[in-house]
Structure 1
Amino acid sequence: MNINKIIKKTKKSKYIQYCLKLLFYIVGKIPSRKNTIIFESFFGKQYSDNPKAIYEYIKKEYPDYKLYWSIDRNYYSNFKHQNLNYAFRFSFKWIFLMATSRYWVVNCRLPLWIPKPRDTIYIQTWHGTPLKKLGIDIEEVRMPGTDTVTYKKNFLYESNKWDYLISANSYSTEIFKRSFGFDNTVLESGYPRNDFLYTHNNKQNIEEIKSKLNLPKGKKVILYAPTWRDNDYYGKGKYKFSLKLDLNTLKKELGDEYIVLLRMHYLVAENFELNEFKGFVYELSTYNDINELYLISDVLITDYSSVFFDYANLQRPILFFTYDIEEYREELRGFYFDLEKQAPGPLLENNEQIRKYLKRISEGSYQLPSSFKVFYNKYCYLEDGGATKRVVTNLLDQKDNHS
């Protein structure tokens, strides 16, 4: 029986929701299985991010642990080739595993109705270094299906369940503790997912990834990875996105040398019509591991997405396509720092500027700005390929402290 279908009716019946919570509480009375861990990435939609890095390390270094993945059944295709133990989100098997596993390793918030059993240790890995304001720091929430007061209340209710929170740097730690109202243990370790950018950054791995994706050989790669806009949506959890990047001009001027990879935020619901750009533009928004896309890309174009914090580890050019920066900063989210002054690359307002900078990069006349080194030293200083080991050692090698 798919409990997800029941949950969709909970707005109509608080009784059903109560019964689900009661079931979870009852199963949660079973003593937790000490060596069992369940992982979830982006609401069960991906095998990716920090949970993936932690999972693969534990699987290799701690073979006695029983590891499971929480999967949204609509996205099973993203997992079917991974040889994983898994449970479909909201199935009875999933409820049993969530209620009895010793550890939860998750990178986004879980549904509010899920109670955390007393013996469970909840590791919230989160999924980015913050530029945009988060949690209770957001002055006015403009997302569908909620309001500012409710959003902040729910956020605090969820973050109160976290036992550990992973942070990439001291800057993130300070913001996370305040914006999430988090008073438990922060593991300031660097991001496990970024280890890959240090351990696999070589020609052989890059060529293997390109071959796996059937990308043309000999072409350089532009990765376009923008974020979403809170006030532009179809409905709760489904956001619109208008593609402002002039693909026609880029194809005409750079098509002989470059290809473009589109990587939309996981909340963006658009399906772009790209037939006329076949062989030049590749839509890879649902591709599991963005780290592989970072690795094969020669330049990143983004806006206010936290992807640039991760991509900076590769010390390659980053262009910021910030055509709506005033609206985004003043009316939607607000920023934690002055992007104009601290960005590790130029802020560009239109496609002509984008074209000119890509030309400079293509010709080899572009150099990383002086702001890049300052940025790298402030936000990437913990990243060295060993973050996953630091996190897992803190969690599992000190498990006696958790009993």
Structure 2
Amino acid sequence: MNGKLIDYIQIILLLLILLSVNHKPLKKLKLIAKRALVVSLHFCSRAIPKKRNLIVFGGENGRGFRGNTKYLFLEMRKKPQLDCVWISKNDQVVAQLNKQGYQAYKHHSPKGVYYQLRAKLVIHSHSINDDFSKSFLGGAISYNTWHGVGLKKVWGANKKTFSYKILHEKSWLKRYFGTFVVKTNQAKTNYVVSTSEAVSSYYPETFLVPESHVLQLGQVRNDVFFKETEEDLLIPEWIRQRKVIMYMPTHRNFGKLETDINLVFDFQKLNQLCVEKGYIFLVKRHMYSSGQVPSIYENIIDISEEDYDPQLLLKYSDILLTDYSSCYTDYLLLDRPVLFYSYDLTLYLQKSNQMYFNYFDVTPGPKVNDFSNLLKELKGAMEDPTSYKEDRERVLNIFYAKENQGEVLQKQVHYIEEHLLK
């Protein structure tokens, strides 16, 4: 090990000591050791030679096989000149993909580590820390498809994150050294996929990339809206053949501010309305949600534990009910009614997430904060789905440029081949 590298590691250790000021001695020591190891490995991984045709894919926080990166993986692995490997933190995902004949490995397995170290390009839907082992990706190119086009501030734009706090730290010394830790959440060169000029305007701050590395190429996962595939059959016929209201809420500060669902819904009255109008009300809750949906009502069904693709659920929904979730911006591509149940908006903005936009400016549908008004607006949407149509189109054009309001898979594949792999 040369002298410069030793000096570099010593500086990083000093940084970690300075950053770890609010922990008890033992926890502080563990944190210092962990950060020192991660930063050192991330730095050293840059020296590993990269294979020009090797692409590592991952997504869904390393836990699933769906979304933008799934479709890119399936398409690009058809090209014989490319070596496409899926990396996961989930044993079942790896086993499932291996059974189908695909290359897939656990993130900490010997082959998983090898492919991460050698990959020229990594394609992912969350951060490289969430989807892979970030320590091994310091020398790669990152192509972040992201996993939603929504309102909530994240990463470098969110005041609660480590990245934001370091980048806005008043102490120049902590800010300088802290930047080394922040950089371990990125690869050597980083790109992020956007959907419109409005969205692109806040992505450099959010993802800590230059404006030229924000690519307005759309969301591949939405291609399923515009064509029929075998995947459609994964949604049961009893959903596909019915009139559906889909309830898809987001979390409140990772479950810390959740309200029991039974306190904000009168399921008896809701079921009565659905029976009268011939709808079923499907609940697809966030994993941090609180309370149990009663199972005694025939037209209200909780499908939260089912492994249905969210985009396909949206495709077969006639009305979407949400709150602050990004799912509604995708749903606007279908031009169907959206309702916003914002019963805790003030608390959400104060304690959970800030937003890039004024909530009332970019939510094209009724916004209600109590159940009686929700029931009234649901009935209105059932009877007149064209209400708010012009407003839906206006907001759609904010979040999705015209050229990204259709299928986008092939143009993303073309960009990757022509600009990132050559």
TM-score, normalised on structure 2?
Answer: 0.77
Report matched runs for 1:116-155 at 5 Å.
117=137, 119-139=139-159, 141=160, 149=165
Question: How many angstroms does 1:91 deviate by?
Answer: 2.3
Select the residue among 355, 367, 371 that pairs with 1:335: 355
Name the CA distance, whole Å, in 2 between partners of 1:119 and 1:23. Answer: 11
Q: Does 2:125 match 1:102?
A: no
Q: Closer, same or farther in 2 for the Cα pair 1:227/1:400, shift >3 Å?
A: closer
Aligned to 1:275, the other structure's residue is in SS state coil
| CA distance 1:351–1:262, shift in 2 (3 Å) | same
372-381 or 10-19, larger mean C-alpha shift: 10-19
Contact 2:88 2:105 in 1 (8 A): yes
Match of 1:393 in 2: 414
What is the aligned partner in structure 2 of residue 303 from structure 1? 323
User: Does the 8 Å contact 2:260/2:291 carry over to 1?
Assistant: no
Identity of aligned residues (%): 21
Residue 221 of structure 1 deviates from its aligned partner by: 1.1
Report the Cα offset of residue 188 of structure 1.
0.8
Whether contact under 8 Å (2:250, 2:325) holds in the other structure is yes
Aligned alpha-carbon RMSD (Å)? 3.4
CA distance in 1, matches of 2:360, 2:398: 16
Deviation at 1:255, TM superposition (A): 3.5
Instruction: Report the CA distance between 1:227 and its aligned residue.
Output: 0.9
Rounded to whole Å, the distance in 2 between the matches of 1:118 and 1:156 is 9
The CA distance in 2 between the partners of 1:377 and 1:15, in whole Å, is 48
Q: Cα offset for 1:24?
A: 7.0
Counterpart pick for 2:339 among 319, 322, 334: 319
The aligned amino acid for 1:303 is: D
Name which of 384, 393, 404 aligns with 1:383.
404
Q: What stretches of structure 1 move > 4 A for 4+ residues in a row?
A: 13-30, 77-83, 116-119, 150-157, 159-162
The amino acid of 1:343's aligned partner reads T
- The answer to whether 1:49 aligns with 2:67 is yes
1:185 to 210, 213, 222: 213
Matching residue of 1:197: 225
Displacement, 1:370?
Answer: 3.0
Choose the corresponding residue for 1:70, options 87, 95, 108.
87
AA in 2 matched with 1:199? K
Report if aligned partners of 1:102, 1:121 keep a CA contact under 8 Å in 2.
yes
Q: Structure 1: any 5+ residue segments left out of the alignment?
A: 1-8, 234-238
The Cα shift of 1:64 comes to 2.9
After TM superposition, give the deviation of residue 224 of structure 1 in Å: 1.0
CA offsets 1:331-370 (integer angstroms, 9 cap, x no match): 4322222222331211111122221222223334652343
1:91 aligns with 2:109: yes
What's 2:24 paired with?
A: none
- Answer whether contact 2:320 2:339 (CA < 8 A) is retained: yes
Q: How many residues end up aligned between the 2 structures?
A: 377
What is the distance in 1 between the residues matched to 2:378 and 2:293?
24
Q: How far off is 1:56 after superposition?
A: 2.2
User: 2: CA distance between counterparts of 1:78 and 1:281?
Assistant: 30
User: Would the aligned equivalents of 1:55 and 1:67 in 2 still touch at CA under 8 Å?
Assistant: yes
Matched residue type, 2:104: Y
Q: Is residue 226–residue 407 contact of structure 2 (8 Å, CA) maintained in 1?
A: no
Alpha-carbon spacing, 1:341–1:291, altered in 2? closer, same or farther (3 Å): same
Unmatched segments (≥5 aa) in structure 2: 1-26, 169-177
Q: Distance in 1 between matches of 2:275 and 2:29?
A: 50
Counterpart pick for 1:230 among 219, 244, 253: 253
Question: For the Cα contact (< 8 Å) 2:362–2:395, is it kept in 1?
Answer: yes
Cross-structure match for 1:272: 292
Please say if residues 72 and 88 of structure 1, whose CA atoms lie closer than 8 Å, have aligned partners that are also in contact: yes
* Distance verdict in 2 for CA 1:250–1:151, change over 3 Å: farther
Query: Is the 1:163–1:185 Cα contact (8 Å) retained in structure 2?
Result: yes
Shift of 1:329: 2.5
The letter for the 1-side match of 2:243 is K
Q: 1:117 to 1:33 in 2, by over 3 A?
A: same
Q: Report the residue type matching 1:224 in the other structure.
A: Y
**d(CA) in 2 for partners of 1:147 and 1:23?**
19
Tell me how far 1:309 sits from its aligned partner: 0.8
Shift of 1:310: 0.6
1:260-316 per-residue CA deviation (whole Å, 9 max, x = no partner) reads 222233x52657354334663132355252111111111111111111111100111
- Per the TM alignment, residue 119 of structure 1 is displaced from its structure 2 partner at its CA by 5.0
What code does the residue aligned with 1:133 have?
K
Residues 16, 337 of structure 1: alpha-carbon distance in 2 compared, 3 angstrom cutoff: closer
Contact 1:155–1:180 (CA under 8 A) maintained in structure 2? no
**One-letter code of the match for 2:83?**
K
Describe the shift of the 1:125–1:347 C-alpha distance in structure 2 as closer, same or farther (beyond 3 A): same
Q: Residues 205 and 98 of structure 1: is their aligned pair in 2 closer, same or farther, counting only changes over 3 Å? A: closer
Alpha carbons of structure 1 residues 151 and 356: separation in structure 2 relative to 1, 3 Å: farther
Name the structure 1 match of 2:279.
258
C-alpha contact 1:344 1:371 (8 A) present in aligned 2: yes
Please say which structure displays the higher CA radius of gyration. 2
Distance 1:83 1:350, change over 3 A: farther
- One-letter code aligned to 1:57: E
CA contact (8 A) 2:200 2:216 kept: yes
- TM-score when scaled to structure 1? 0.80
Aligned-pair CA distance for 1:371: 1.5
The corresponding residue for 1:5 is none
